[in-house]
């Protein structure tokens, strides 16, 4: 593998969710550990599944991997990091400052912004800890999906600039109190990230046009941050030997080859290589060691009988149930790469084709709904919550209202406050709240960001609800966004997954997180099923046979409603193909 030649100290694997970042980062860590290197594998994904891959609990502390000598792993848990971060700031002032002041500081530190800062604080610590660097030859980062990772890599510069320009701090006092002391460390982290002798970034993609376009954008954004040492790995490419006698496999192969032959120029100029689609799930060291080996399609060792595939309704059956009301919020949630954007577009198209008024939107920084729809439809409005645009809108609104009557010094302090990176959290939450309110009069279909990012947004929603409840008291009448999300009549959450072990497990964990927040998922959607597509390719048939157990697991114990969507011969882009994907009769 080219990307493993003369590896620097830090290796970052990034890309859209579901492209195989965790598999590649784990396989690389095992390969280097097998060579006698001391390796630290770090996950910065709020929805990390590194522990599931190795079959042991890891968590937010250095943990040796039992099955791989020389390999240590760490999962940066944003919530645990935030708890430690809050304690570091609050504990020293307890008993020193008045109780009401301490409570005020604790409230300031209760939001999702602090959670993000705390995770970022740990991340920069790993880049600059000399003692840690003496203990390990290489530190490998399995990062969150693209949008979240770009945000993480931009934070050292954002906070360094903010602290330098605003030495007195701002009303985001709690987080800044911890950050101001560490300006030198952030500057050091920036230099490490930009140094090609110390850091290499591996862009991971699937052989799909939409995924590669996003990777090209990622390449440009990382270039702007100063990360130049990039290489591209296209994962899960179907070998031609697996296509004999199967129209679906042949169609997939031809589609992938067309994509590989026309890489965006920025990516074609990078060092790049491909990895073959594997017949087994990438769980456990033995499977991961085979990832870098050329696979033979061979004979199907697991025989899939047609009657073994459960009889499950199409997506259109769920849409028909949804359409019985003439308005409401439909939120598609799940891990990155499971097809939320495509399925959100398909749900919106089928509702609009029934003559209903529909607004399709996304809170995923990396989603591009227009590319999926590839056309316009009567009754269908399309938008996205753009964090940068929403932040600018929020700043202008605050300056025009709260800043209207301030003197020059007051305006300067307010502008300083609004330059804080924490402002983005508030702005995105407000945009999210506007969308929820709109669902009271028409259908709003929301394609959400990957799981971890969405949970942070829900955390902000919950924090706002608690603040309103405290102010209004027991006798007050109010309706918060969280109350609307918890109301099954107003909101239907559709959980999207793939028929594979890890995605199903992660979606089940997401369902439990939502239930703890008082939100009951309405249905599950299992996407891209080879079993439902009735493939005859030996390699794909092995993968299809492994799917059945997971489909039955969801059907019998996890979902109250369920739709199963076959893998499509043609990429589901455009209104007609989205209708076919949904199962339009």
Residues whose CB falls within 8 Å of the CB of residue 381, separated by 6 or more in sequence, listed in order: 358, 359, 360
67 CB neighbour count, 10 Å cutoff: 12
Instruction: Name the residue with tokens 């991997």.
Output: 65
- Distance, in Å, from the CA atom of 296 to the CA atom of 196, rounded to the nearest integer, reads 36
Catalytic residue selected from 15, 18, 111, 462: 18
Q: Is 507 annotated as catalytic?
A: no
Cα atoms in the Cβ-side hemisphere of radius 13 Å centred on 118: 25
Q: What 3-state DSSP class applies to 356?
A: coil
- Distance, in Å, from the CA atom of 536 to the CA atom of 248, rounded to the nearest integer, reads 8
- Distance, in Å, from the CA atom of 22 to the CA atom of 143, rounded to the nearest integer, reads 8
Four-residue CA torsion sign, 376, 379, 380, 381? positive
Catalytic residue selected from 15, 16, 17, 23: 23
Catalytic residue selected from 15, 16, 21, 335: 21
- Distance, in Å, from the CA atom of 46 to the CA atom of 42, rounded to the nearest integer, reads 12
Q: How far is CA 535 from CA 183, 543, 566, in A?
A: 56, 10, 10
From the list 209, 292, 299, 218, the residue with the least C-alpha distance to 256 is 209
- Distance, in Å, from the CA atom of 500 to the CA atom of 326, rounded to the nearest integer, reads 35
User: In the structure encoding, which two tokens stand for residue 127, read together?
Assistant: 């880049």
Q: Is 20 annotated as catalytic?
A: yes
Contact 228, 194 (CB under 8 A): yes
Q: Is 149 annotated as catalytic?
A: no
> Strand 63-64 and strand 71-75: pairing?
antiparallel
Catalytic residue selected from 14, 15, 16, 20: 20
Give the torsion through C-alpha atoms of 117, 118, 120, 123, to 10 deg. Answer: 170
- Distance, in Å, from the CA atom of 247 to the CA atom of 537, rounded to the nearest integer, reads 9
Catalytic residue selected from 45, 246, 417, 459: 45
Catalytic residue selected from 14, 25, 502, 579: 502
Catalytic residue selected from 14, 22, 451, 501: 22
Q: Is 502 annotated as catalytic?
A: yes
Residues whose CB falls within 8 Å of the CB of residue 502, separated by 6 or more in sequence, listed in order: 49, 52, 53, 281, 283
Active site residues: 18, 20-23, 45, 502
């Amino acid at each position: 593998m080219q990307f493993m030649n003369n590896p620097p100290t830090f290796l970052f694997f990034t890309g859209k969710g579901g492209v195989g970042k965790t598999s590649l980062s784990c396989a690389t860590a095992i390969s280097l550990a097998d060579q006698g290197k001391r390796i630290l594998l770090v996950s910065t994904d709020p929805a990390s599944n590194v522990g599931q891959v190795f079959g042991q609990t890891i968590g937010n502390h250095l943990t040796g991997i039992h099955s791989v000598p020389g390999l240590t792993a760490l999962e940066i848990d944003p919530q645990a990091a935030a708890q430690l971060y809050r304690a570091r700031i609050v504990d020293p002032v307890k008993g020193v400052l008045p109780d009401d002041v301490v409570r005020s500081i604790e409230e300031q530190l209760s939001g999702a912004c602090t959670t993000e800062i705390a995770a970022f604080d740990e991340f920069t610590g790993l880049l600059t800890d000399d003692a840690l660097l003496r203990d390990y030859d290489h530190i490998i980062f399995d990062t969150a999906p693209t949008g979240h990772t770009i945000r993480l890599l931009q934070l050292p510069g954002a906070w360094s600039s903010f602290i330098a320009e605003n030495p007195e701090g701002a009303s985001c006092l709690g987080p800044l109190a911890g950050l101001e002391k560490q300006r030198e460390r952030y500057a050091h982290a920036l230099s490490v990230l930009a140094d090609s002798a110390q850091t290499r970034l591996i862009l991971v993609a699937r052989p799909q046009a939409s995924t590669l376009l996003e990777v090209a954008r990622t390449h440009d954004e990382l270039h702007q941050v100063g990360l130049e040492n990039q290489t591209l790995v296209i994962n899960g490419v179907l070998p031609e030997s697996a296509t004999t006698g199967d129209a679906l496999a042949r169609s997939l192969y031809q589609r992938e080859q067309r994509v590989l032959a026309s890489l965006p120029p920025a990516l074609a100029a990078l060092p790049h290589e491909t990895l073959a689609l594997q017949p087994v799930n990438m769980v456990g060291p033995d499977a991961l060691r085979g990832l870098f080996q050329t696979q033979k399609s061979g004979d199907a060792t697991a025989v899939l009988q047609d009657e073994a595939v459960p009889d499950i309704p199409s997506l259109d059956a769920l849409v028909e149930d949804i359409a019985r009301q003439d308005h409401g919020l439909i939120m598609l949630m799940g891990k990155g790469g499971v097809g939320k954007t495509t399925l959100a577009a398909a749900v919106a198209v089928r509702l609009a084709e029934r003559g209903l008024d529909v607004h399709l939107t996304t809170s995923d920084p990396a989603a591009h709904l227009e590319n999926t729809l590839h056309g316009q439809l009567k009754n269908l409005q399309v938008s996205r919550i753009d964090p940068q645009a929403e932040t600018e809108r929020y700043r202008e609104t605050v300056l025009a209202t709260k800043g209207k009557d301030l003197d020059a010094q007051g305006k300067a302090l307010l502008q300083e406050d609004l330059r804080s990176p924490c402002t983005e959290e508030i702005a995105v939450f407000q945009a999210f709240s506007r969308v929820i309110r709109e669902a009271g009069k028409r259908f709003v279909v929301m394609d959400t960001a990957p799981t971890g990012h969405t949970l942070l947004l829900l955390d902000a929603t919950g924090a706002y609800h608690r603040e309103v409840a405290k102010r209004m008291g027991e006798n007050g009448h109010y309706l918060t966004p969280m109350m609307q999300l918890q109301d099954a009549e107003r909101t239907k959450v559709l959980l999207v997954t793939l028929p594979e072990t890890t995605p199903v497990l992660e979606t089940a964990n997401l369902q439990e997180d939502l239930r703890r927040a008082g939100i009951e998922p309405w249905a599950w959607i299992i996407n891209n099923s080879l079993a439902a597509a009735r493939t005859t390719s030996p390699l794909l048939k092995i993968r299809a046979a492994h799917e059945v157990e997971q489909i039955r697991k969801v059907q019998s114990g996890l979902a109250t409603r369920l739709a199963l969507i076959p893998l499509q011969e043609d990429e589901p882009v455009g209104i007609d193909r989205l209708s076919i994907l949904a199962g339009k009769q």
